[in-house]
Amino acid sequence: MNDELHRLRHSAAHVTAQAVKRLWPTTKLAIGPPIEEGFYYDVETERPLAEEDLAAIEAEMAKIVQANLPFERSELTKEKAAAFFASRGEPFKVELIEGIPDPKVSLYTDGEFVDLCEGPHLKATGEIRAFKLLSLAGAYWRGSEKNPQLTRLYGTAFESQEELKEFLKIREEAKLRDHRKLGQALGLFTMLEEAGAGMVFYPPRGAVLRGIIEDYARRQHAARGYVPVVTPHVLKSDIWVRSGHYDYYKPNMYLFKVEEQEWGLKPMNCPGHILIYQSVLRSYRELPLRFFELGTVYRNEKSGVLHGLLRVRGFTQDDSHIFCRSAQLEEEIGGVLRFIQEAMRDFGFPEYKVEMSTRPPEFLGDTEQWDRAEAILTSALKRWNVPFELAAGAGAFYGPKIDVHVKDTLGRFWQCATVQLDFVLPKRFGLTYAESDGQRTAPVMIHRAVFGSLERFMGTLIEQYGGAFPAWLAPVQVTAIPITQDQEPYARETAQALVREGLRAETDDRRETLQARIRDAQLAKVPYMLVVGKREVAAGTVAVRSRAGGDLGAMPLAEFVKRIRQEVHDKK
């Protein structure tokens, strides 16, 4: 977000709060920052706001914009500012002021409205030319369930009506692609409240789609010299303390005691891979050693942040850890970056952006190790001609990282792959290998995932394709549909022949009309329908209907097999 858009959206957030205060004067205001797609403002009202209220709030906002009220900045001491907001019945503002370290705070005024704010803002409300309130949601004050629940008003603002219209058009398309709705409608996944929030169940079609991704991952890793490992789901807490995860992840870990010993469900796979490396003596001849696991991990996420497949409590990572010598690092990182690029292209994401995250405020190891690790990642990105943005202070607690965000057909970015460089954990666990001269040396560790969470990646895929997967990914590639009961044996024989060819096919011989069954196959987003009637049985052919291209005419089954095989090979 550029500076001008930031000021515009920040100003629109203030106008939103001002409109709410005009309509419901007893409203208590919390915070209202600009965000990636717009802005929000948290408020506490006597009665909960509803979607029906948004039109009235927008109308009042339009009056404020029309009035072209100037934004005026002023300063007060903390004591005077706290007294001012207390007199206006704004306890959340008073609490915010108490947490500000500076002796003075800044306020912005437009018309009758005054807000605590650092700014910056536009010159006047009249510069807010294109805005729209989008939705309402619940939000706890300062993110804690112990605090009051507020209403969060989401909105957006752009510099022109054309940009706003394009944004709203994409937003409507995104609603149609919502993986939560499509996942249920297409039988890809379900969440069962009685089993626990954030836990994913995969019906047959979803299990097939997940299996396709897993098979791809296994083949591609094997082709690149990774060796499979499997680690336990539960480890003694001592391991998590030693790795540092206990201090950083304890609030999100599932911990329990057995015979006075504390155990934890794994939130990460890396300690298990470290223990396998450590279980035998290693030589420099074995390095780089690339471990790969489709490892399921568990994190006790708050219920309020759970979101379909994108944020769950149990998920599987295509987790790999590369143990190597320092001299091998840039080559290994380059290999991972090429792997990510090829995999994302295969799954339909040719465009992406890369972030390089540096040392966070709290970290393990020393600054010299971190500086070295950051320099190596930066050098590798430049060597392999990968443009990147810097995310200062966003690294993992044990090392800097590269994050890849893929761009979908609607222009949205999704966080996917990660590459993390770690000098810390190998030393905490005392890992070594024998150099050519016999000296024991600590390896360097690369943590990496191509897809990240398989659950999140599946959610991304569902939204990318709107559930209409290309033939190579579709859980059901072909549905054979007999016109009458007389053709049912031929339709079943056709589907079985396709299955023998390694294709995913089924027969729809329900007692429904032909049009109803064709419509249902379209709704299920099956790539191909093979309609068979008397003529097809007599000629030994199939009448091919494509989900995208409509009626393709009759052809021998072998010709159709050749066609779909080519699509699968080309990943189209």
| Amino acid in the structure at residue 121 | H
> Which entry of 317, 420, 464, 487 is annotated as an active-site residue?
317
> What is the DSSP annotation of 516-551?
HHHHHHHHTT-SEEEEE-HHHHHHTEEEEEETTTEE
Active site residue 321: yes
The whole-angstrom separation of Cα 489 and Cα 22 is: 71
Query: How many helices (H) does the chain have, and how many strands (E)?
Result: 18, 28
30: which 2 tokens? 């919390």
> Which entry of 110, 319, 408, 508 is annotated as an active-site residue?
319
**According to DSSP H, which parts of 347-395 are helical?**
367-383
The whole-angstrom separation of Cα 533 and Cα 550 is: 18
155: which 2 tokens? 């909105």
Count CA within 13 A, CB hemisphere, residue 533: 7
Rg (CA), the chain: 29
> Which entry of 7, 177, 210, 321 is annotated as an active-site residue?
321
Is residue 462 within 8 Å of residue 187, measured between CB atoms? no
Active site residue 270: yes
Closest CA to 293 of 264, 266, 313: 266
Active site residue 299: yes
Inter-CA distances, 539 with 3, 545, 554, 556, Å: 68, 17, 10, 8
Active site residue 401: yes
Can you state the percent helix, strand and coil of the chain, rounding each to 5? Answer: 40, 30, 30
The whole-angstrom separation of Cα 33 and Cα 40 is: 6
The whole-angstrom separation of Cα 285 and Cα 435 is: 8
Closest CA to 444 of 418, 422, 420: 422
> Which entry of 9, 205, 311, 401 is annotated as an active-site residue?
401
> Which entry of 10, 121, 282, 299 is annotated as an active-site residue?
299
Closest CA to 329 of 267, 448, 421: 421
> Which entry of 447, 456, 504, 545 is annotated as an active-site residue?
447
Instruction: Give me the count of residues in the chain.
Output: 572
CA angle 415, 389, 416 (to 5 degrees): 15
Is residue 27 within 8 Å of residue 153, measured between CB atoms? no
Residues 6+ apart with CB under 8 A from 79: none
Which residue carries 């060819």 as its tokens? Answer: 501
Other C-beta atoms within 10 Å of 61: how many? 24
Which residue carries 């499997």 as its tokens? Answer: 230
Active site residue 405: no
> Which entry of 270, 328, 420, 504 is annotated as an active-site residue?
270
Residues 6+ apart with CB under 8 A from 521: 479, 481, 508, 529, 547
φ, ψ of residue 7 in degrees (nearest 5): -65, -40
Inter-CA distances, 82 with 31, 85, 93, Å: 16, 5, 8
Which residues have a catalytic role annotated? 270, 299, 317, 319, 321, 401, 447
